[in-house]
């Protein structure tokens, strides 16, 4: 048996009892890591938390990757928020973007029989039981039918049914890692739960994928799979195969600046067209969801997570990021109130403090929108952005919940986009799809 084969999972804990037992066991391991750390610190008072973070990150990731599902998805989301967690966690959790341990062949066959009453070999001309890619909610297999190469996405057993209970179990870990207040964490978890319930409904994903790929077909250098609803179900998606490389592999080929710019521009246009023309956006911008094709196009291979933007969020937020509204203190405070960044019970001193801090934060975030082009390869912008994020995360004033829930996925989407563009070191025309805003009279 090869090492790769040995890494396959032959079973997955699906009941609440099995899954909670796994969390308890992980909690004991994490507790043991803290005891080991503080024992060493008795003899070496200058010892930092690097080893502790690495041990905890490895134990938590190993546990979540066996459980799959929403707990692993939360880890994946956190890995994209570079200024929230220590580096050991972001490095380890980012593995779930590409290579969580896959499920074994028999479990895959079982899933097909449950939803189609047939094995995959009875449906397709060829079906590879070894997955090509395994992530947090499902894994992908290659197949062929009538000479057409296909990608088959199969959801892990029990994932859709265990979202609520999993998020309750992951809450203590998130509480400790994020340092949020309980109220803020509740808002975060509720929004995550809502999106995950949608993301595990593959019939909804197929409908959205067709709708969004049709709407975005006008974009240059962006390509989408063809979807086959008749060969899909609530837990299985059949789509055409897109040849290409993930971002990491693509960058290892040392692509030209021109090609980096082309892929970066396609990514920028894809996101901003959706945000400003569709008012709904692909809210899962981790590198595992994109392929760079041999022709130099950007392939979008996953539409599971879509965030719709209500008008009461869209207009005040993008007016702040793409106009000179921030120069008008009175109107800026009005916008902050609408977005619940400034709250009704705030004192004059608090209003002044949050006005100043949020103005600085949005001013930084909005820099790419404020000119017709932007060089995402510039490290100074990201140093300033993450430096400010780190400073804010340590402030007691930001431990309470602030901001409407729409910020959770919209911020995640835009910071995820910025991070990928930074990895590409892409130079972008940022005025291609601009926000539609209503300025104050």
- Rounded CA-CA distance 195/404 in Å is 16
Burial grade of 24 (CB within 10 A; 0-12, 13-18, 19 or more): exposed
Contact assessment for residue 177 and residue 168, using Cβ atoms and an 8 Å cutoff: no
- Rounded CA-CA distance 236/252 in Å is 32
Q: What pLDDT score does 437 carry? A: 77
- Rounded CA-CA distance 231/233 in Å is 7
Residues 407 and 280 in one domain: yes
Q: What pLDDT score does 144 carry? A: 97
- Rounded CA-CA distance 69/74 in Å is 9
DSSP 8-state class, residue 355: H
Q: What are phi and psi of 253, to 5 degrees?
A: -85, 0
Give the number of other Cβ atoms within 10 Å of residue 258's Cβ.
Answer: 9
Q: What pLDDT score does 19 carry? A: 58
Residue recorded with tokens 């993301």: 199
- Rounded CA-CA distance 358/77 in Å is 23
Count of structural domains within the chain = 2
Hey, what are 377's tokens? 């390869």
Distances (CA, A) of 328 to 12, 332, 435: 55, 6, 19
Residues 52 and 173 in one domain: yes
Contact assessment for residue 386 and residue 83, using Cβ atoms and an 8 Å cutoff: yes
Averaged pLDDT, groups of 10, the chain, 441 residues long: 45 56 59 61 68 67 60 56 50 51 77 93 95 79 96 84 70 60 71 80 93 95 96 95 94 96 97 94 84 96 86 90 85 93 93 94 89 93 86 77 82 88 96 76 36
Hey, what are 97's tokens? 């973007």
Residues 262 and 174 in one domain: no
Residues 175 and 259 in one domain: no
Hey, what are 153's tokens? 């996405």
Residue 238 counted as domain residue: no
Which of 128, 151, 180 is where one domain is finished? 180
| Residue ranges making up the domain that contains 61 | 3-98+168-180
Residues 176 and 278 in one domain: no
Residues 320 and 174 in one domain: no
Which of 180, 204, 226 is where one domain is finished? 180
Hey, what are 421's tokens? 């563009």
Residue 137 counted as domain residue: no
Q: Which strand (E) or helix (H) includes residue 149?
A: strand 148-155
- Rounded CA-CA distance 151/241 in Å is 5
DSSP 8-state class, residue 225: P
- Rounded CA-CA distance 228/214 in Å is 14
Residues 424 and 275 in one domain: yes
């Amino acid at each position: 048996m090869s090492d790769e084969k040995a890494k396959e999972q032959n079973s997955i804990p699906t009941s609440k009892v099995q899954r909670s037992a796994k969390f308890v066991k992980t909690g004991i391991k994490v507790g043991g890591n803290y005891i080991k750390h503080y024992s060493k610190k008795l003899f070496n008072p200058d010892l930092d938390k690097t080893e502790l973070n690495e041990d905890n990150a490895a134990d938590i990731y190993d546990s979540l990757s066996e459980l799959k599902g929403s707990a692993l998805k939360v880890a994946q989301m956190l890995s994209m928020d570079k200024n929230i967690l220590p580096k050991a966690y972001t490095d380890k959790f980012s593995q779930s973007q590409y290579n969580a341990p896959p499920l074994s062949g028999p479990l895959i066959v079982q899933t097909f029989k449950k939803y189609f009453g047939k094995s995959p070999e009875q449906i397709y001309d060829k079906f590879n039981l070894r997955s090509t890619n395994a992530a947090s909610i499902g894994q992908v297999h290659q197949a062929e039918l009538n000479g057409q190469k296909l990608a088959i996405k199969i959801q892990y057993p029990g994932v859709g049914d265990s979202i609520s209970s999993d998020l309750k179990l992951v809450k203590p870990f998130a509480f400790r890692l994020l340092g949020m207040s309980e109220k803020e964490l509740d808002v975060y978890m509720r929004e995550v739960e809502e999106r995950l319930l949608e993301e595990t409904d593959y019939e909804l994903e197929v409908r959205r994928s067709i709708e969004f790929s049709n709407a975005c077909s006008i974009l240059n250098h962006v390509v989408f799979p063809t979807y086959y609803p008749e060969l899909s179900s609530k837990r299985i998606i059949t789509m055409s195969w897109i040849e290409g490389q993930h971002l990491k592999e693509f960058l290892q080929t040392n692509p030209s600046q021109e090609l980096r710019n082309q892929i970066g521009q396609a990514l920028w246009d894809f996101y901003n067209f959706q945000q400003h023309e569709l008012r709904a956006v692909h809210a899962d911008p981790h590198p595992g969801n994109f392929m760079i094709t041999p022709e130099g196009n950007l392939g979008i291979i996953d539409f599971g997570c879509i965030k719709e933007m209500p008008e009461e969020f869209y207009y005040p937020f993008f007016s702040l990021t793409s106009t000179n509204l921030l120069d008008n203190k009175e109107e800026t405070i009005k916008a902050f109130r609408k977005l619940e960044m400034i709250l009704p019970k705030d004192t004059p001193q608090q209003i002044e403090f949050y006005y100043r801090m949020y103005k600085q934060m949005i001013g930084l975030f909005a820099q790419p929108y404020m000119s017709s082009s932007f060089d995402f390869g510039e490290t100074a912008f990201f140093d300033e952005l993450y430096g400010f994020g780190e400073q804010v995360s340590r402030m007691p004033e930001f431990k309470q919940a602030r901001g409407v829930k729409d910020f959770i996925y919209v911020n995640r989407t835009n910071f995820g986009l910025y991070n990928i563009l930074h990895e590409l070191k892409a130079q972008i025309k940022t005025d291609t799809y601009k926000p539609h805003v209503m300025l104050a009279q």
